[in-house]
Structure 1
Amino acid sequence: MDFNFTEEQEMVRDGLSRLVREQYDWETRRKATESDAGWRPEIWSQLAELGILGMPFSEEDGGFGGGAVDAMVVMEEFGKGLVVEPFVPTVVCAGGFLKHAGTDAQKEDHLSAIIDGSRVFAFAYAEPRGRYDYADLGTTAKKDGSGYVLSGHKAVVIGAPWASHLIVTARTSGDRRDKSGVSVFIVDKSSAGIITRDYSTVDGRRASEIYFENVSVPADALIGEEGAALPLIERVTDEAIAAQCAEACGAMKVAHAMTVEYSRQRKQFGVAIGSFQVLQHRMVDMYTEYEQSVSLTYLATLRLDADETERKRAVSAAKVGVGKAARYIGQEAVQIHGGNGVTDEYAIGHYFKRLTIFDSEFGNIDHHLKRHMALA
């Protein structure tokens, strides 16, 4: 199988690598995440100008005719710089719902705004009791005339403090945990009845607890068929998992390189610690885990357009393998750095935090092991 990237994809990779290297250096990123805003809107605008936000969308939808592989290339470079701007919530998740099930009017209104960078989305799906079950919903959407009224609580909504709009999952019929009766809505975050509590996450991003208190939304806010959105949610979240696996691969590559470089400089007993064979073995194991993660990510990305069972198996296998590797590489990197690895001034500790949090998003290792085995 040919794993070579196209000339256009290599150009995108080179351009993003240069942008991250020149405008997203460690100190600049640190100042941005510690600021009141928590991100750099000018970087988001620059990504729009470069066409990055429109890459995964078809030319008919106003994009540049790319797909999941293009998103993978972008996310790997973002992972190398620990980029916090909300590419996955806005482009992969919101864009995924719209391109797979949006009406022509919804695409015209929202996709164009996503592509030009003027509209930022967050994906509000997780709930305190949900435990990775997308059908376990306490949030409800009840019919009210031609529209709906939303009530409920969404937890750890990544990127919500920066968002103008939300993609919200809610139950329109049936009992809690029923596979049917799940729907998806586009909600303006400024709507009456929405209460948010914003906070910083341990890996430097921003998130919100969002409460919906009788929030009215029009009928055209519904994406896809009412009550039949669970397969759509699973498809979009699988695409998000593949993208985040690529991000983790980028972060792992840099964490390994930082560790190797540190081992060459740090001296103990008069010699560089990198000369100790036991540490050499550990760094080789880190590199092996990284390479295996890249292969799993490629496979998952290429299987996103396969049938449902094959897609889920490939994505869950990647989430398990990359999740284990991310945890291992992050822990080894911090340990080899010693006390420096846990100080806020050293970048490696922040790579460790991002790689650790990766496991908890869209299902952890245990969850995806169970899903993979259930599909065997």
Structure 2
Amino acid sequence: MDLNPSDEQRLLRESAERFVAESYDADHRRKMANDPLGFSPSVWKQFAELGWLALPIAEEFGGLSGGAVEIGILMEAFGRGLVSEPYIATVVLGAALIDRCGSTAQKQALLPKIADGSLKLALAHSERAARFDLAKVTSTANRTAQGWRLSGSKIAVLDGHAADEIIVSAQIHDHHGPSGRIGLFLVPAQTPSLAISDYARLGGGRACNIELSDVQLAEDSLLGDDHDALPAIEWAIDRAMAALGAEAVGIMQTLVDTTLEYTKIRKQFGRPLSANQVIRHRLADMAMQVDEARSMALRAALKADSPPVERARAASGAKAKIGKCARFVGEQSIQLHGGMGVTEELEVGAYFKRLVAFDTLFGGSAHHYRRHAELGRTPVLA
């Protein structure tokens, strides 16, 4: 297998890294951290102009038909700048689920709007009692004469406060199929009886909790048909974990680069810290952890469209391994910066916080080691 990037992929990496370097400095990140929206609408518009919002969308719907590898290239660059725009929520999760589950009419209506930046989405799936088990959904959708009635609670909805429409998962209760199957419903953010409470996420960006109290929806609010959407949700979140892994690699690489430069200029007993052999060994260990994480993120992206068990094992393996690598690199970076590593003057702490958030999002390393092991006992043909 040739793992060398194509010319198009190299151009994507170069343009993304250049844009992030020019647009995301420390002042911009501090401004976004204090912004109620959590990101810049003008930057989001630039994402659309650069074609990044259209990257994974099929050409027939105004997209570029890119894959998980191209998404990973973009996300690694985003990690370098601690980008807080709702790319995962809208493009990696939202657009993917519409493409996977939506009817032709829904795709034609929604995907071009995602590509041009006029529609932002969020996925509301996690619930308090689920503990990262994607199959545990207690929110309900009851069929009515007018359409659907949704009730339930969702937590940790990425960028839900800024979404124009929220994709909500719920158990379908009707007489058309087996009870308990999961459906995905498009809920406009301004829908009555929908309560949204947002909060800042560790490391930048925002998330929210959602309460649905007998929310009335039209018949066509259901994405696609009423078959069980759980396999599609698992597929989309595995892809999101691969993308987040690539973002974590970008963060880790920035910490290694920053720490290397700091040890060259920080002097102790009349010579740079980097002149000490033990410091060099620690920097080398950090670089090795980044390379291992990059390999796992690439593997998860390459397996994103493989059969379910193979794809899920690659995603969980990457999430678990990159989580451990990220914590090692973050802690070493803080320690090698000494007291400066926990001050507002340097951004090492901000990058470390984003890595801590990554380790928890969609389940930590311990959860994914267990999932990886359980999937290993699953028959390949299952």
TM > 0.5 between the two? yes
**What amino acid does structure 2 have at the position aligned with 1:185?**
F
Q: Give 1:302's aligned residue.
A: 302
User: How is 1:67-216 mapped onto 2 (pairs within 5 angstroms)?
Assistant: 67-173=67-173, 181-216=181-216
- Contact preservation (8 Å) 1:149, 1:216: yes
CA offsets per residue over residues 161-217 of structure 1, 9 Å max, x none? 21111111111149xxx9951111111111011111111112111111111111112
- Cα distance in 1 between the residues matched to 2:363 and 2:231: 16
Contact 1:51 1:115 in 2 (8 A): yes
Separation in structure 2 between the aligned mates of residue 172 and residue 148 of structure 1, nearest angstrom:
9
Distance 1:234-1:180 versus aligned 2 partners, 3 A rule = farther
Aligned-pair CA distance for 1:117 = 0.3
Q: Deviation at 1:20?
A: 0.8
Give TM-score, length-normalised by structure 1: 0.96
Larger displacement relative to structure 2 (127-136 or 221-230): 221-230
Asked if the contact 1:180–1:227 (Cα under 8 Å) also holds between the matched residues in 2, the reply is no
How far apart are 1:370 and its partner, in Å?
A: 0.9
Cα distance between partner residues in 1 of 2:273 and 2:44: 41
In the TM superposition, residue 30 of structure 1 has moved relative to its aligned partner by 1.5
For the aligned residues, what is the CA RMSD?
1.5
Residue 299 of structure 1: how far off its partner (Å): 1.0
Q: Which amino acid aligns with 1:278?
A: V
The answer on 1:21 being equivalent to 2:9 is: no
* Cα distance between partner residues in 1 of 2:182 and 2:202: 31
The gaps in structure 1 that reach 5 residues or longer are none
Deviation per CA, 1:140-171: give whole Å up to 9, x if none. 11111251111111111111121111111111
Match of 2:64 in 1: 64
Deviation of residue 74 (structure 1)?
0.8
Distance 2:57 2:37 in 1: 28
Output the amino acid matched with 1:51.
G
C-alpha distance 287-179 of structure 1, shift in aligned 2 (>3 A):
farther
Name the counterpart of 1:311. Answer: 311
Percentage of matched positions with identical amino acids: 40
Cα distance, 1:223–1:196 mapped onto 2, change above 3 Å: same
1:36 to partner: Cα distance? 3.0
Q: Which residue of 1 aligns with 2:8?
A: 8
Residue 227 of structure 1 and its aligned partner are, at CA, apart by: 5.0
Q: Secondary structure at the match of 1:52?
A: coil
Helix, strand or coil: the match of 2:309?
helix
1:127–1:155 Cα contact (<8 Å) kept: yes
Structure 1's consecutive aligned runs of 4 or more residues displaced over 4 angstroms after TM superposition are none
Unpaired stretches in structure 2, ≥5 consecutive residues: 377-382
Deviates most, 317-326 or 140-149: 140-149
Give the residue type in structure 1 aligned to 2:79: G
Equivalent position of 2:229 in the other structure: 229
Q: Is the 8 A contact 2:172 2:180 kept in 1?
A: no
Query: How does 1:295-374 map onto structure 2 within 5 Å?
Result: 295-374=295-374
Q: Secondary structure at the match of 2:16?
A: helix
C-alpha distance after superposition, 1:4-58 (max 9, x if no partner): 2221221121111111111111221221221233211100000101111001112
* Cα distance per residue 1:44-99 (max 9 Å; x no partner): 00010111100111212220121111111111110110100011110010111011
Tell me if the contact between 1:171 and 1:227 (Cα under 8 Å) persists in the aligned partners.
no
Between Structure 1 and Structure 2, how many residues are aligned? Answer: 373
**1:146 and 1:105 mapped to 2: Cα distance?**
20
User: CA separation in 1, counterparts of 2:179 and 2:150?
Assistant: 19
Q: Distance in 1 between matches of 2:169 and 2:328?
A: 33
- Secondary structure at the aligned position of 2:235 is classed as helix
* TM-score normalized with structure 2 length: 0.94
Structure 2 counterpart of 1:278: 278
- Give, in whole Å, the separation in 1 of the partners of 2:317 and 2:215: 38
